[in-house]
Structure 1
């Protein structure tokens, strides 16, 4: 069981790109972050609603590793927790390497299950010009690499705060690699 740390928690009740940092957020089972625009059983992202509003919401909670911010600073981008629209900023957990179905215990009570990778869109370049090329690249084999975090659904409710521990529980093998959701 790997242990990491919650660096920041964020939410926004409007569909804006960035989310405001909070002292705590409450996760609600099967819904997402209380008071966040993406809370719901069915899709809440505007582009997804336009495609099919009845689809299940596999993007209830967005998590990003703060190690990405260090990488972006080295490339000349000052990015802070919440800037990229994430609800939970983590440290010490390689989120992008985790398989589908991984469960993260955030703080003493909340549990989320990773559903896939966030697929960054052109809005990221409107936020900071050129940033999309920093968070989407290609590996040596030419495959697309998405670095802008993972999406999850809430299995167990709870309040989480900066400084809370993160425990990682991997699913049974064989593991399925993350794909965009």
Structure 2
């Protein structure tokens, strides 16, 4: 498995991890950023209640235009707060929700987790489906930011650092401060790819 960014976080291959929810966000509009709120309700098989991207089939506008019958593998978007720390060191001051995520975490190397990892977050369970594919909207939000979250390594492989996507496998409420437990799928582990 390839770890996509240097980290001092526990490796997902060494055993269970535990992290925390830093912030939760929702927006009923197809905009870019999402405001932080007190709690979100995840609905099994649908996504975050009240969010524009919730649905059994795809809700991201570009994917709807391509094929509206596709299953929605992007019901929940999670970003690790450690990314914001790294971006701050590069001169980009961001807060949770700025990049459009529903759940901001700390203490888990989300990008290193394999497909099918189950995150128990508060009362809910989110099963990871893949990586967010950063797009030009990130540069529209902050010029130059796309190069910070979508870059090419020395070996030519593209790194996507703007978080992970998942589906809701068990509904429930998530609040800031909630613990996050990680359960890896049975091997073989497949690295997350863009969805």
- Using the size of structure 2 for normalisation, the TM-score is 0.92
Gap regions ≥5 residues in structure 2: 1-15
The aligned counterpart of 2:50 is: 35
SS state at 1:37 partner: coil
Structure 1 residues 83-162: aligned runs within 5 Å: 83-107=98-122, 109-162=123-176
Partner of 1:175: 189
Q: Which moved more, 1:69-78 or 1:134-143?
A: 134-143
Partner Cα distance (1:151, 1:179) in 2: 10
For 1:117 and 1:38, the matched residues in 2 are separated by 16
After TM superposition, the runs of 4+ consecutive aligned structure 1 residues lying more than 2 A away are none
SS across alignment from 1:27:
strand
In the TM superposition, what is the alpha-carbon distance from 1:2 to its structure 2 partner?
1.0
Comparing 32-41 with 136-145, which one deviates more in the overlay?
A: 136-145
**2-side partners of 1:39 and 1:72: how far apart?**
28
Q: Secondary structure at the match of 2:140?
A: helix
1:70 matched residue in structure 2 = 85
1:125: Cα distance to partner? 0.3
Cα shift at 1:138: 1.4
SS at match of 1:64: strand
Partner residue of 2:31 out of 9, 16, 21: 16
